[in-house]
Amino acid sequence: MTIRSAAQESIESFKKSPLSSEEIARIKHEIDTKTTGPSNLKLLDVEVGVDSNYIFNTLPKESSDALFPDFLPTWDPFEKYEPLEEFKHEDPGHKADPYLQNLFPKTNQSLQKTDLTPNFGSEIDGLQLSSLSPRAKDDLALYVAQRGVVIFRNQDLASKGPQFATEFGKYFGPLHIHPTSGAPKDAPALHLVYRPKTTDPPSKKRFAKHTNGLFWHTDITYEKQPAGTTFLAYLEGPENGAGSTIYVDQVQAYKRLSPEFQSILEKLSALHKRLEPIYDETNGEPFFIRREGYDGYVHPLVRKHPVTGEKSLFINQLLTLEIVGLKKQESDAILNFLYDHLKSSVDLQIKTTYKPGTVVVFDNRVVGHTWVFDWDDSKPSRRHLFRITPRAEVPSL
């Protein structure tokens, strides 16, 4: 029995805010009467059970050996958040030292810094994100805006727990609350990337319909104020650092285009929207909608970064639906060309493999990414990361 069939009638109640006492009682009754045991429900491929407070938790048989149990997903059927409010974003990068001396002081003799390509991607060791001063965080925002993606090794952010991670992320902007995904208990602003140990390989579902496992996208572009400086922290994954992520430089991708084509794109905008149902064939069915107001927004195809002034492409194959004002064939032709441009420009891409203590910091305004099926998923292995997603300005050119 899936969660959709177990409590389908409750969905509309979850969309109302606040829930009345009658609605709460009805939901509890439906959960009590329509579920026959704790292991018969699935949320996004995660088997869950219901505790005495009606909170849906990852089952012990899946979670007992988790390295970071505090970061396992939970769903609260009575949790409801208001639509996101617009705010004026003041990027910390504006306050940074242009020489980044707060982030990279000369006194740090253990610092190891490697640029992965001339313009895009760096790897850092010997610097602890959790210990950064406010001024060092300002420098970090600028540095990540300049490099696009920065991989930090041997970090202790995960070991400090969900609450610390939440407070850390708030420095860079109001945190995004995902409308449907599970979150650690009492930490709704942390988005979990979670693939449980399973004997049903996700690649089998994916490759039944697709020739590759790529999901190129930029996070939460369906919001009016999408993500800015973003943190992806590794918790657990397949052996040898697999479950990798590929990132693409959308600043240089824009610069590769002819001036004439650039001028055409700069006049265009596109609709970004998360389509229902909110799942794909590699996941289970969604259920709890924690927040309304993510109906999609129109953003320019080219945006300017508020700190660096660099222009970048701002489209992604997962969430960009159509170019406003064009016929479908015209829109598809331009978008498909740009998608192919990003995917085929391997010289503008870097691949991140994961080790314990890895935190990837990237600027969602100028970077696209995809996770990769690069492990043998016939062998059950958990893939578990968490994302801190500060929101930024309304995209503009």
Map out the domains of the chain as residue ranges. 3-82+91-388
* Average confidence score pLDDT of the chain: 84
Q: Which helix (H) or strand (E) holds 152?
A: strand 149-152
Cα-to-chain-centroid distance, residue 97: 28
Q: 162 or 296, which is more confident? A: 162
| Structure tokens, 32 | 């009590």
Q: What are phi and psi of 7, to 5 degrees?
A: -150, 45
| pLDDT value of position 64 | 79
287 has pLDDT over 80: no
Q: What is the C-alpha to C-alpha distance for residues 370 and 234, in angstroms, rounded to an integer?
A: 15
Strand partners, 376: none
| pLDDT value of position 37 | 39
Q: What is the C-alpha to C-alpha distance for residues 63 and 370, in angstroms, rounded to an integer?
A: 26
pLDDT band for position 285 (cuts 50, 70, 90): very low
Q: What is the C-alpha to C-alpha distance for residues 98 and 334, in angstroms, rounded to an integer?
A: 37
pTM of the model: 0.86
| pLDDT value of position 52 | 53
| pLDDT value of position 296 | 86
9 has pLDDT over 50: no
| Structure tokens, 85 | 């409010």
Other CB atoms within 10 A of residue 252 CB = 20
Of 46-55, 71-80, 177-186, 316-325, give the range with the top mean pLDDT. Answer: 316-325
Of 63-77, 108-122, 202-216, give the range with the top mean pLDDT. Answer: 108-122
281 has pLDDT over 50: no
Q: What is the C-alpha to C-alpha distance for residues 47 and 200, in angstroms, rounded to an integer?
A: 13
pLDDT band for position 371 (cuts 50, 70, 90): confident
Task: List, in order, residues 6 or more apart from 381 with CB less than 8 Å away.
Answer: 197, 237, 238, 239, 375
Instruction: Identify the weakest region by mean pLDDT among 75-79, 130-134, 247-251, 287-291.
Output: 287-291
pLDDT band for position 325 (cuts 50, 70, 90): very high
Q: Which helix (H) or strand (E) holds 234?
A: strand 229-236
**Alpha helices of the chain — where are they, by DSSP H?**
3-6, 11-14, 21-34, 60-63, 134-147, 162-170, 202-207, 250-255, 259-265, 328-344
278 has pLDDT over 70: no
Amino acid at 64: S
Q: What are phi and psi of 134, to 5 degrees?
A: -55, -40
pLDDT band for position 56 (cuts 50, 70, 90): low
What average pLDDT does this structure show over 35-42? 42
Q: What is the C-alpha to C-alpha distance for residues 175 and 392, in angstroms, rounded to an integer?
A: 9
Does the domain formed by 3-82+91-388 have CATH 3.30.420.40? no
Structure letter (DSSP) for residue 200 = S
Listed residue (241, 183, 221, 216) closest to 388, CA to CA = 183
Q: What is the C-alpha to C-alpha distance for residues 24 and 19, in angstroms, rounded to an integer?
A: 6
- 73 contacts 184 by C-beta, under 8 angstroms: yes
pLDDT band for position 105 (cuts 50, 70, 90): very high
| pLDDT value of position 5 | 39
279 has pLDDT over 50: no
38 has pLDDT over 70: no
Radius of gyration of the chain (CA): 21
Q: What is the pLDDT of residues 135-155, one digit of tens each?
A: 999 999 999 999 999 999 999
Strand partners, 115: 122
393 has pLDDT over 60: yes
Q: How would you classify the pairing of strands 190-195 and 245-249?
A: unpaired
| Structure tokens, 50 | 């219901």
395 has pLDDT over 60: yes
Q: Write the burial class of residue 228 (CB in 10 Å: 0-12 exposed, 13-18 middle, 19+ buried).
A: buried
**SS3 assignment, position 378:** coil
**SS3 assignment, position 91:** coil
